[in-house]
Structure 1
Amino acid sequence: MKIKWFGQSCFMITSQSGIKVLTDPYKKMLGYKLPEMEVDIVSTSHNHSDHNNINIVKSSFIHINEPGNFLEHGIEIKGVQTFHDKTSGSKRGKNTIYNFKIDDINICHCGDLGHLLNSEQIEKIGNVDILLLPVGGLATLNAVDAVQVMKQLNPTIVIPMHYRTKALGIVGYVFGKVDKFISASELQVKEYEELELNKANIKGYSGIIVLKYD
């Protein structure tokens, strides 16, 4: 499979058979630029404009936007309800974590998770091979809490998201840098333009993978 980051919480995950999954597409309110796309599945973790711009997709697609169990294009998807804050959603509302089983690899996208997980949520999420994790704080997990969630889910690979980058300009200063998470994690770090791996070689990529924004 291939994993490409488009900034914020937006990723394109492409299976070996060519099925494309797009997560949390954003509007142009951010410093990032998202091209029009043709994909098969779009997931949105919550209904905020920097995560729910499904209009960017110009093909027919399946939209997953709620908790539950789904099977689309041969991909198993589990949606688990969480919250955008530490007060059960009273400040920023609900958030859905999605665990996708693609090419026999479990990829967990945390959306704008704002709290540590409880035992029931951990059990529902299940096994995680690759964790797409917000680390920038403010409206999501900060670096320290992100490390705790990483330990709760125990993935082989962690790909940080939703943190300060140069592309965000002044807006980015409200978020922490990815360096804080890396330092707190004490894990090995590798950097790629795009990540390409399979079930056989995934352990060779273990640790933190920082994906570059074009």
Structure 2
Amino acid sequence: MRGSGPARSVLAAVAGIALSGSVAFAQGAAPAPAPAKPEMAANCPGLIAQRSPLFRQDLVRRVALASDQVRLTYIGHSTFLIESPQLVRIATDYNDYVRPPVTPDIATMNHAHTTHYTDRPDPNIKHVLRGWAGNEKPARIDIQEKDVRVRNVPTNIRTFEGGTERHGNSIFIFEIANLCIAHLGHLHHTLTQQQLDEIGRVDIVLVPVDGSYTLDLEGMIEVLKAMKAPLMIPMHYFSAYTLDRFLSRVRQDWEVEISDVPSVVVSKTTLPQKAKLLVLPGR
């Protein structure tokens, strides 16, 4: 998980928000003033409208996975590339702005902002899974692709007018190599016991940590405590300030590790014995 000196230097340039901002905070530099809580807008902030991501494929060794391993690579915003032992590739919250360097077999999407979905997915994607169904009907997804099962648990989202769009978001659950990975999408509320029961046991949770466009900070901590995943990976943060604010709060309850590279290989046997939050640098 620790990179060489040259790779670390390159990655710092590529993903300065996640790393150098955290270093400055750790060294005691005064954090930027807290931004005003943003109102709902057409897009989440923090994205450059271009399709070529800053993710550097050459910084991650693409080694073959054992039958009990999963590779997760943080591309940026709320997009991860998840790879299975049988080479099934999944892109979460697939959109027009940040895309993985390879065409996925499965693309999941959510409806809160255009930075979380696209109406123009790559036609070579085998399964395009939209986490909403329209007319406030819940999407119901449960598919199997080789060694990967994908299912969803619908949740609600806020509308631009301040109302509620029922079932506009889905928590996607990926069952791979005896691991259960949950991507919370654009979660706007805490979870009911029924939703937690539908999700089931979770080994890894991919969690939005901006604290404003999605669920507020304490609400998201409540969700993480309810899910009890041994490994938590943050996403959907827009600056060093929002990430550091979340990490400062999380350190009250869990260990925090900051990786030098945007990719991690996980198996059931390598999950932390004590719950931990792992920061993967990304765009």
Query: Deviation of residue 26 (structure 1)?
Result: 2.6
Cα shift readout 1:53-95 (whole Å, capped 9, x = no counterpart): 3746363321122333222233122211101249xx9345511
What pairs up with 1:7-156 in 2 under 5 angstroms?
7-28=76-97, 33-34=98-99, 37-46=102-111, 48-53=113-118, 55=120, 57=122, 59-65=124-130, 66-85=139-158, 90-91=163-164, 94-156=168-230
User: Which is bigger in relative contact order (C-alpha 8 A, separation at least 6)?
Assistant: 2
Query: Deviation of residue 206 (structure 1)?
Result: 4.0
1:82–1:95 Cα contact (<8 Å) kept: yes
Q: Please say which of residues 141-150 and 54-63 is displaced more in the overlay.
A: 54-63
- Paired residue type of 2:276: G
1:82–1:97 Cα contact (<8 Å) kept: yes
Unaligned runs of 5+ in 1: 167-175
Runs of 4+ in structure 1 over 6 Å off: none
* Matched residue, 1:172: none
* Matched residue, 1:160: 234
Give the Cα separation in 2 of the matches to 1:36 and 1:154: 32
| TM-score, normalised relative to structure 1 | 0.83
Q: Among the aligned pairs, what percent are the same residue? A: 27
> Secondary structure of 2:196's match?
helix
Distance 1:144 1:200, change over 3 A: same
Give the Cα separation in 2 of the matches to 1:106 and 1:62: 19
- Paired residue type of 2:154: Q
Distance 1:47 1:73, change over 3 A: farther
* Matched residue, 1:212: 281
Distance 1:151 1:35, change over 3 A: closer
> Secondary structure of 1:113's match?
coil
**Structure with bigger gyration radius:** 2
1:36–1:56 Cα contact (<8 Å) kept: no
Q: Which residue of the other structure, out of 178, 191, 195, is the alignment partner of 2:258?
A: 191
Give the Cα separation in 2 of the matches to 1:41 and 1:79: 14
Task: Number of aligned residue pairs: give it.
Answer: 199
1:85–1:115 Cα contact (<8 Å) kept: no
| TM-score, normalised relative to structure 2 | 0.64
Unaligned runs of 5+ in 2: 1-69, 131-138
